[in-house]
A and B are shown apart, each in its own frame.
Chain A
Amino acid sequence: MENKTTRNLYTIPYVIWVAFFVIAPILLVLYYSFQDLEGNFSLTNYRNFFTPIYLEMTLSSFWYAFLITLITLLFAYPIAYLLTKLKHKQLWLLLIIVPSWINLLLKAYAFLGIFGTYGMANKFLETIGIGSKQLLFTDFSFVFVSVYIFIPFMILPIFNALDKLNPTYLDAANDLGASRWTTFRRVVFPLTIDGVKAGCQITFIPALSLFMLTRLIAGSQVITLGTAIEQQFLVTQNWGMGSTIAVFLIIFMFIIMFATGTKRRRARG
């Protein structure tokens, strides 16, 4: 009996946290999403969301998030793989993670300088004979900086998965005559797929709602769901529409979590 009371006591902070910072805000967002500009209950916002302008925005938001995730994965997997093979792997891992401790805004401002007309990137292009290009405020720079920002978050789960991989499996594959590519495709990748999924979640979902970079690096010419929400709340003061976009963002997130969710039961059974 006493055991039960103490256990209940321990759950109080968790319950309060969830009630205040998860359930209450989501309910509020839902509530506001059904309000029109005059504060009356209506479905106008949902109808508005299905007009070409918002659908196009959602689509382009998904496209950029997809690109960012894909490129991040293409870089992160080999890096994580390499890291597990190194002698002081924890130290190398730390070095990759350290930049993620620096504030995002600071890094974005740094890129303003690096990609500028007179910045380092253009100096380099000139020295190797390509000549200076306009890098800042292009799709390329937006994807580049986003990938740079997300790479540590992608590397971590993949590194953990690879690190936990039992090396005897590799020996077994080798003994049974599998080529290195077959071993990777049939053994290593399937066994680390959970790490990849976790990394993709951690990248794709925030990438959908990136909003500072869209202005600083893409010059406001890439619009994500996050930018649109910010605009609706702060500029138009149309909280209803902002909330509606947020509701869709939440729905998309759940779908993504569901689709990439790790099926633990099957793995165990």
Chain B
Amino acid sequence: MKQLIRLAVVIIAVSAILLVTISRLNASQGYSGGNTLTVYNWGDYIDPAVIDEFEKQTGITVVYETFDSNEAMMTKIQQGGTSYDVAVPSEYTIEKMKEEDLLLPIDHSKVPNLKNIDSRFMDLAFDPGNEYSVPYFWGTVGIVYNTKQIDGIEFNSWEDLWNPALKNEIVLIDGAREIVGMGLNSLHYSLNDTDPERLQEAYDKLVSLKPNVRALLGDENKLLMASGEVSIGITWSGDASEIMAENEDLDYVVPEEGSNLWFDNMVIPKTAKNIDAAHEFINFMLDPKIAAQNTEYVSYSTPNKEALQYMPEEMVNDERFYPPPELTDRLEVYENLGKENLAKYNELFLKFKME
């Protein structure tokens, strides 16, 4: 017993020492406000020159950290180990973060450049009145295909993927929402559907696609498509434009049945220490010239209407990445379906993978 108590005391003492050391370390690294700004963004999702420019103009030091999934980002913000001042989650994660009370409202008077954003992308269901978020980039989910290798097959709809001639050719995104959503869309259902019967129908439909599926991959697919190893991929428009710049034989299409319209948005998490600098940074990123420069680097689609005039014309006029309102009206934004339904999606997806 005595030893147990001693053990407990030792553990508590060591925890306390570790806690103090952590906070000291954080303070000495300048993570706690002052003149630094900690930005938490997706990997390779900003032009480093833009950060330099911001540092030069404002004298604020930017600490830049990256994540590779919304879920990982959210978990880290929840734990609160690092005080991130600006983060860039996707729309359905913003809904979740709002629910969990992880966001600070954005003071619109401090972000005058908000007027540059296309009204199509403002005031959306996931954040009415843009109280907590400002769009950073947007895009669609669609089919990338190699026009040289896939000869004579036109891709206009999801249905075209079920062509028996495409045996073992398709690489899918390793994401439950995207793939189950694709199954639902191909049956002309909403990709936010939670009806068990329709989900089962979508699952059966997906299983019948399995002979054509070669693999389900993450970022690796960009490499394989660019090198011509893979001829058909289901992916996000941003990734598509990136690999199309490397391999001219590739083309991208958003299927006519509908698909996903997604947004990555700048937010200020509850962990923020330097809230003024965060507003300054968001406003800076919305500056038309800066947004144009950043968009040319990242090659995703910018929601910044004023930035378009500073960008190369062939980029702006490319309807595959800047689709007209008629098309975007047909696309759907992911809604937060709740953990229970998300678990259902994931179980179906897991079953689909094992088929």
Contact = CB atoms under 8 A, between A and B. Distances in A.
Given A56-B354, A112-B220, A16 B174 contact: no
B10 A12 contact: yes
Interface stretch (B251-259, B262-270, B336-344): B336-344
A236 interface: yes
Contact of B343 (A15, A60, A220, A241): A241
A259 interface: no
Interface stretch (B28-36, B184-192, B221-229, B308-316): B221-229
A19 B220 CA distance: 39
Interface centre among B71, B229, B351 (most CB of A within 10 A): B229
A137 interface: yes
A223 B214 contact: no
Contacts of B214: 134, 137, 219
Interface string A34-58: 0001000000000000000100110
Interface in B170-222: 171, 174-176, 214-218, 220
Interface residues of A, number: 33
Interface in A202-219: 215-216, 218-219
A235 interface: yes
Given A37-B339, A220-B216, A235 B176 contact: yes
Interface residues of B, number: 34
A219 B216 contact: yes
B353 interface: yes
B350 interface: yes
Interface in A115-135: 116-118, 134
A234 interface: yes
Contact of B229 (A118, A232, A238): A118
Given A12-B10, A220-B174, A116 B350 contact: no
A53 B351 contact: yes
Contacts of B175: 235
Interface in A125-162: 134, 136-137
Contact of A221 (B7, B216, B347): B216
A221 B171 CA distance: 11
Contacts of A116: 224, 227, 229
Nearest to A24: B11
A237 B350 contact: no
Contact of B350 (A37, A112, A231): A231
Interface in B149-164: none
A29 interface: no
Contact of B69 (A134, A220, A234): A234
B340 A221 contact: no
A236 B215 contact: no
Given A16-B10, A117-B229, A216 B220 contact: yes
Contacts of A56: 354
Contacts of B174: 215, 220
Interface string A1-32: 00000000000100110011000000000000
A237 B346 CA distance: 10
A109 B75 CA distance: 28
A37 B340 contact: yes
B61 interface: no
A223 B69 contact: no
A228 interface: yes
B71 A235 contact: yes
B19 to A, nearest CB: 13
Given A215-B174, A220-B216, A220-B217, A19 B343 contact: no
B72 interface: yes
Contact of B339 (A12, A60, A220, A237): A237
A216 B221 CA distance: 10
A53 B72 contact: no
B130 interface: no
B327 interface: no
Contacts of A60: 354
A111 to B, nearest CB: 12
B215 A220 contact: yes
Given A112-B224, A215-B174, A215-B216, A53 B347 contact: yes
Interface centre among A12, A137, A235 (most CB of B within 10 A): A235
A198 to B, nearest CB: 31
A19 B13 CA distance: 13
Contacts of A136: 215, 229
A16 B11 contact: yes
Given A137-B215, A237-B71, A37 B346 contact: no
21 contacts: A16-B11, A20-B11, A37-B340, A112-B223, A116-B224, A116-B227, A117-B228, A118-B227, A134-B214, A137-B215, A215-B174, A215-B217, A218-B215, A219-B215, A219-B217, A220-B215, A221-B354, A234-B72, A234-B75, A237-B75, A238-B346
Interface of A: 12, 15-16, 19-20, 37, 53, 56-57, 60, 112, 116-118, 134, 136-137, 215-216, 218-221, 223, 228, 231-232, 234-238, 241
The 10 closest A-B pairs by CB, nearest first: A219-B215, A220-B216, A137-B215, A236-B346, A37-B339, A234-B71, A116-B229, A236-B343, A117-B229, A220-B174
